[in-house]
Structure 1
Amino acid sequence: MSKEVEVMLPYKQSDNLHLLDIMPNILPITNIPQKRSFIEQILNKATKSKKDINENFNISINSIQKRNFDLFHPTYYDDYFLEYIQKKPYVVTVHDMIYELYPELFNISDKIYKTKHNIVKNATAVIAVSQNTKKDIIELYGISDKKIHVVYHGNSIETNRENNDIQKNNYGSYFLYVGNRYSYKNFYFLVSSIANTLKEKNIKLICSNNKFTPKEIEYFKFLNIEHLVLNIEANDSTLAKLYKNAIALLFPSLIEGFGMPLIEAFSMGCPVICSDIPVFHEVANNAAIYFNPKSAKSINEVVNIILTDKQLRSDLIQKSYQREKLFSWNKTSKKTVDVYKSML
Structure 2
Amino acid sequence: MKIAIDCRMYSQSGIGTYLREILPYILKEKYEFLLIGDMYKIGHLEYENIEILHCKIPIFSVKEAIGFPVKKINECDKFYTPNYNIPWGIKIPIFSTIHDVVFLDMPEIINSYIGFKIRKLFLKRAVKISEVIFTVSNFSKSRIEKYFGIEKKKNVTGNGISNHIIEHKHQIYDKNYNEDYIIFVGNFKKNKGLKILLDAFEIAKKNGYNKKLIIVGSLENFRTKDDVILNYIKKFSRGDVIFTGYVNDEKLREMISNAFALVQPSLYEGFGIPPLEALFLGTEAIVSDIEVFKEVYSDLPVRYFKTEDSKNLAEVLIKLKRESRDLYEMREFILRKFSYEKIAQIIINDLGKH
TM exceeds 0.5? yes
C-alpha contact 2:175 2:257 (8 A) present in aligned 1: no
Partner of 1:293: 307
Structure 1 CA distance for aligned equivalents of residues 219 and 205 of structure 2? 20
* Alignment of 1:280 onto 2:286: no
One of 10, 19, 30 as aligned partner of 1:4: 30
CA offsets, 1:302-325, max 9 Å, x none? Answer: 212313xx4xx2249677535422
One of 328, 338, 343 as aligned partner of 2:349: 338
CA offsets, 1:250-289, max 9 Å, x none? Answer: 0000000111112211221111100101111222114211
In 2 relative to 1, CA 225–143 (structure 1 residues): closer, same or farther, beyond 3 Å?
A: farther
Segment of structure 1 superposing worse, 7-16 or 202-211: 7-16
Larger proportion of helix:
1
Partner of 1:321: 331
In 2 relative to 1, CA 306–316 (structure 1 residues): closer, same or farther, beyond 3 Å?
A: farther
Q: How does 1:198-209 map to 2 (within 5 A)?
A: 198=205, 200-209=208-217
C-alpha contact 2:188 2:226 (8 A) present in aligned 1: no
Partner of 2:95: 91
Residue 130 of structure 1: CA displacement? 0.9
CA offsets, 1:93-148, max 9 Å, x none? Answer: 1011101111233345522211211121221110011111011111111132x600
In structure 2, the gaps of 5 or more residues are 1-25, 37-52
In 2 relative to 1, CA 315–74 (structure 1 residues): closer, same or farther, beyond 3 Å?
A: same
TM-score by length of 1: 0.77
Per the alignment, in what secondary structure is the counterpart of residue 150 of structure 2? coil
User: Which AA in structure 1 matches 2:334?
Assistant: E
Structure 1 CA distance for aligned equivalents of residues 174 and 66 of structure 2? 48
Per the alignment, in what secondary structure is the counterpart of residue 161 of structure 2? coil
CA offsets, 1:75-107, max 9 Å, x none? Answer: 4433423x3x32x21111101110111123334
CA offsets, 1:151-200, max 9 Å, x none? Answer: 12221123425658x53749710111112121111101211112242462
Q: How does 1:206-221 map to 2 (within 5 A)?
A: 206-211=214-219, 215=227, 216-221=229-234
TM-score by length of 2: 0.75
C-alpha contact 2:271 2:296 (8 A) present in aligned 1: yes
Fraction of identical pairs, as percent: 27
User: Which AA in structure 2 matches 1:9?
Assistant: L
Q: CA RMSD in A?
A: 2.9
One of 189, 195, 198 as aligned partner of 1:191: 198
In structure 1, the gaps of 5 or more residues are 17-37, 41-52
* Alignment of 1:70 onto 2:77: yes
User: Which AA in structure 1 matches 2:352?
Assistant: K
Structure 2 CA distance for aligned equivalents of residues 260 and 140 of structure 1? 25
C-alpha contact 1:180 1:210 (8 A) present in aligned 2: no
